[in-house]
């Protein structure tokens, strides 16, 4: 891989991670941990709209266990309210999005932890509270996770497709990219990718194939104004 290829991959990687982490300010997914507090070394989360009682663990696949194939961290679909921190849930019982690329689901935590030699099943919040793991989980996802697409984000870049990375990371919500419900997220991701490409001085943008409607959304937001615009993309034709 030459310097030019490295710039293309770095632009795609930083564009995606900047978007996923809200400008590198959110190591934890907002909807599952809108507020967090730390007490005696333990992190507790207040999910969006949570008012106490049992909390539904959104990213728990009970068919994936430490003894299944493929494996996953053991988890429970219903998690109790903390007795020591009323109104909060113990963060290490949940497998929501964390880190620079917002790793989520108990089976991804298992695979990432096994690859890194770290127990992320017992301590999933390491991916948000430890700077090293914030990034190594993102590197693991980028280079090793194939999801439902059958290739990694790194391989998608090799194929010349930024759209493929979007599909791998968040295809269930952002592909097709023209869905009005998630359009603002797609536009923001495009803007971050264009900004990263400009900062790194790439000669061009990668292609948008691999995520239906992404090219159309790029063409629209590049010339739009207001909330529907991606101003960083205006310099890219």
Q: How far is CA 20 from the centre of its chain?
A: 5
Which uninterrupted H or E stretch holds 79? strand 78-79
Average pLDDT over residues 11-38: 97
Average pLDDT over residues 45-62: 96
Whether the per-residue pLDDT at 4 is higher than 90: the answer is: no
Domain ranges in the chain are: 35-144, 147-233
Of the candidates 59, 173, 166, the one whose C-alpha atom is nearest the C-alpha of residue 121 is 59
Whether the per-residue pLDDT at 148 is higher than 80: the answer is: no
Residue 212: exposure state from Cβ atoms within 10 A (0-12, 13-18, ≥19):
middle
pLDDT tens column, 163-175: 999 999 999 999 9
Q: DSSP letter at 233? A: G
* Inter-residue contact 100 to 135 (CB < 8 Å): yes
Homologous superfamily in CATH for domain 35-144: Endochitinase, domain 2 (3.30.20.10)
Average pLDDT over residues 2-26: 95
Q: How far is CA 121 from the centre of its chain?
A: 18
CA dist., res. 140 & res. 123, Å (int)? 17
**Joined tokens for residue 92:** 């290490």
pLDDT tens column, 88-133: 999 999 999 999 999 999 999 999 999 999 999 999 999 999 999 9
Structure confidence at residue 149 (pLDDT): 84
What 3-state class would DSSP assign to 207? strand
Which uninterrupted H or E stretch holds 127? helix 126-129
Mean pLDDT of the chain: 96
Residue 1: which pLDDT band, with cuts at 50, 70 and 90?
low
pLDDT tens column, 198-221: 999 999 999 999 999 999 999 999
Structure confidence at residue 234 (pLDDT): 96
């Amino acid at each position: 891989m030459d310097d030019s290829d490295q710039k293309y991959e770095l632009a795609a990687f930083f564009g995606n991670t900047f978007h996923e982490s809200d400008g590198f300010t959110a190591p934890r997914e907002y909807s599952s941990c809108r507020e967090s507090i730390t007490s005696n070394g333990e992190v507790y989360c207040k999910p969006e709209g949570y008012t106490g009682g049992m909390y539904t663990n959104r990213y728990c696949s009970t068919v994936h266990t430490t003894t299944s194939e493929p494996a996953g961290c053991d988890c429970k679909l219903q998690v109790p309210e903390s007795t020591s921190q009323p109104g909060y849930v113990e963060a290490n019982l949940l497998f929501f999005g964390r880190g620079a690329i917002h790793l989520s689901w108990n089976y991804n935590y298992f695979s990432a932890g096994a690859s890194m030699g770290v127990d992320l099943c017992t301590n999933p919040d390491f991916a948000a509270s430890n700077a090293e793991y914030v990034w190594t989980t993102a590197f693991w996802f980028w280079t090793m996770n194939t999801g439902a697409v059958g290739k990694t984000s790194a391989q998608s870049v090799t194929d010349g497709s930024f759209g493929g990375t979007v599909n791998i990371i968040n295809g269930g919500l952002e592909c097709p990219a023209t869905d009005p419900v998630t359009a603002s997220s797609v536009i923001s991701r495009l803007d971050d990718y264009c900004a990263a490409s400009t900062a790194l001085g790439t000669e061009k943008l990668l292609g948008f194939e691999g995520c239906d409607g992404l090219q159309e959304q790029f063409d629209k937001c590049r010339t739009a104004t207001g909330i529907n615009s991606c101003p960083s993309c205006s310099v890219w034709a």
